[in-house]
């Protein structure tokens, strides 16, 4: 009973993290010596539009071929992979089970009772569970975290990995992977994040996700359908360009001189407003928090020159661009200079890659 081998699977081994996102397949492999992490391999392989949309893999073959190219370019021989599904396609539930049951019996009982917990037909979901520990209310029970995911979400990703000759060993949830990778941002947080309230904003192609951490634990998350695609469309409209011209131009900085003042500044103002609004939702949802100590920007849009200053000015909160690998050594085959440019968009991949070092569970 599992998403695959296990949603919560663990144990140290060689593993690549694969973020299958709407604009690209992002591969990252880490190793760990003592407390130090190293980047062993990485590659980003762009995807054509609509192959992955709304976190749904529409064309597993195209994605599989992109993964195969990424593996090749990264130069890794590792076959085990960790991928993630969107939190919106997963239901988690805390249930209670008799502490006396063996894991096997617990699995049988959960399966038999699953229709009580899951609002979908049981044959349409993959399930996994993790025993969290003794129940606070009742000593003879244990708390069990049950997770269920629509099968198609997992199966499309597995199909893509199989085409690339990889073996999926961990299926995580994107928000968990993002939270997990925030350990690599501690050097950018005041007091290493201890007792602090930090907003991590992942500004991707189609989605901007806010994650508020308090004391390094997730306190709030919110997704908005807004991202770099909007900027590409603005450029296309303003200059009458094709998608290819627009997205290349914004990355390479080859757009006409009035791009900054006529296009980019409006996009940055919109982005800052979106983030501001999400923060207001957070403040109204949680009475204990009334201030953010630090904003950390991630995702491809964090690579826009000057984005940190523009957002800091609007929010009046210290703002930096995420540098998850700044304190790691980077193998030469992982192309350190290129990695430094891409690192802000590799947080989910990094969170997945470090599932390699989970304590065996």
Ligand X SMILES: Nc1ncnc2c1ncn2[C@@H]1O[C@H](COP(=O)(O)OP(=O)(O)OP(=O)(O)O)[C@@H](O)[C@H]1O
Contact residues: Mg ion, CB under 5 A:
21, 204
156 binds, among Mg ion, ligand X, none (CB under 5 to 8 A by kind): none
Residue with tokens 């993002």: 178
206 binds, among Mg ion, ligand X, none (CB under 5 to 8 A by kind): ligand X
Does residue 87 interact with ligand X by CB under 6 A?
A: no
Q: How far is the CB of 305 from Mg ion (least distance, A)?
A: 20
**CB-hemisphere CA count at 13 Å for 341?**
7
Does residue 248 interact with ligand X by CB under 6 A?
A: no
Q: How far is the CB of 255 from ligand X (least distance, A)?
A: 10
Q: How far is the CB of 253 from ligand X (least distance, A)?
A: 8
Whose Cβ is closer to ligand X: residue 188's or residue 232's? 232
346 binds, among ligand X, Mg ion, none (CB under 5 to 8 A by kind): none
Does residue 246 interact with ligand X by CB under 6 A?
A: no
Q: How far is the CB of 90 from Mg ion (least distance, A)?
A: 17
Q: Which stretch binds ligand X (CB under 6 A): 19-27, 96-104, 124-132, 288-296?
A: 19-27
Does residue 207 interact with ligand X by CB under 6 A?
A: yes
User: Of the candidates 230, 274, 270, 226, which has an alpha carbon nearest to the alpha carbon of residue 250?
Assistant: 230
Instruction: Report DSSP state, residue 275.
Output: H
- Between residue 22 and residue 61, which ones bind ligand X under the rule CB under 6 A? 22-24
Does residue 181 interact with ligand X by CB under 6 A?
A: no
Q: Measured between alpha carbons, how far is residue 237 from residues 60, 246, 255, 263, 304 in Å?
A: 31, 9, 13, 10, 19
Count, residues in the chain: 361
Does residue 324 interact with ligand X by CB under 6 A?
A: no
- Rounded to the nearest 10 degrees, the angle between the axes of helix 243-252 and helix 228-239 is 110
Handedness of CA 34, 37, 42, 48 (dihedral sign): positive
Q: Note whether 127 and 114 are within 8 A (CB).
A: yes
Counting DSSP H helices and E strands in the chain, the numbers are 11, 16
């Amino acid at each position: 009973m599992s998403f695959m081998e296990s949603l919560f699977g663990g144990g140290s081994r060689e593993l690549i993290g694969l973020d299958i996102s709407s604009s690209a397949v992002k591969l990252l492999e880490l190793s760990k010596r003592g407390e130090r992490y190293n980047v062993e391999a990485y590659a980003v392989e762009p995807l054509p539009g609509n192959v992955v949309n709304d976190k749904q893999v529409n064309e597993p073959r195209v994605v599989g071929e992109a993964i195969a190219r990424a593996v090749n370019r990264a130069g890794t021989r590792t076959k085990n992979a960790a991928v993630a599904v969107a939190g919106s396609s997963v239901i988690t539930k805390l249930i209670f089970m008799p502490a006396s049951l063996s894991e096997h019996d617990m699995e049988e009982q959960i399966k038999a009772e699953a229709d009580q917990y899951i609002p979908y037909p049981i044959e349409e979901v993959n399930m996994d569970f993790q025993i969290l520990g003794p129940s606070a209310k009742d000593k003879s029970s244990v708390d069990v975290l049950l997770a269920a995911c629509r099968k198609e979400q997992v199966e499309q990703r597995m199909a893509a990995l199989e085409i690339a000759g990889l073996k999926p060993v961990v299926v995580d949830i994107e928000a968990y992977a993002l939270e997990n990778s925030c350990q690599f941002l501690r050097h950018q947080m005041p007091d290493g994040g201890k007792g602090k309230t930090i907003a991590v904003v992942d500004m991707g192609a189609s989605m901007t996700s806010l994650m508020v951490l308090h004391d390094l634990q997730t306190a709030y998350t919110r997704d908005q359908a807004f991202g770099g695609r909007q900027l590409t469309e603005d450029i296309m409209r303003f200059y009458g360009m094709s998608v290819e011209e627009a997205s290349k131009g914004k990355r390479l900085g080859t757009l006409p001189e009035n791009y900054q003042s006529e296009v980019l500044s409006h996009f940055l103002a919109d982005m800052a407003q979106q983030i501001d609004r999400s923060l207001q939702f957070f403040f109204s949802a949680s009475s204990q928090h009334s201030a953010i100590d630090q904003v950390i920007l991630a995702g491809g849009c964090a690579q826009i020159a000057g984005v940190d200053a523009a957002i800091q000015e609007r929010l009046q909160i210290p703002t930096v661009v995420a540098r998850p690998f700044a304190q790691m050594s980077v193998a030469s085959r992982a192309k350190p200079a290129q990695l430094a440019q891409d690192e802000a968009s590799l947080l989910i991949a990094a969170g997945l890659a470090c599932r390699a070092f989970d304590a065996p569970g």
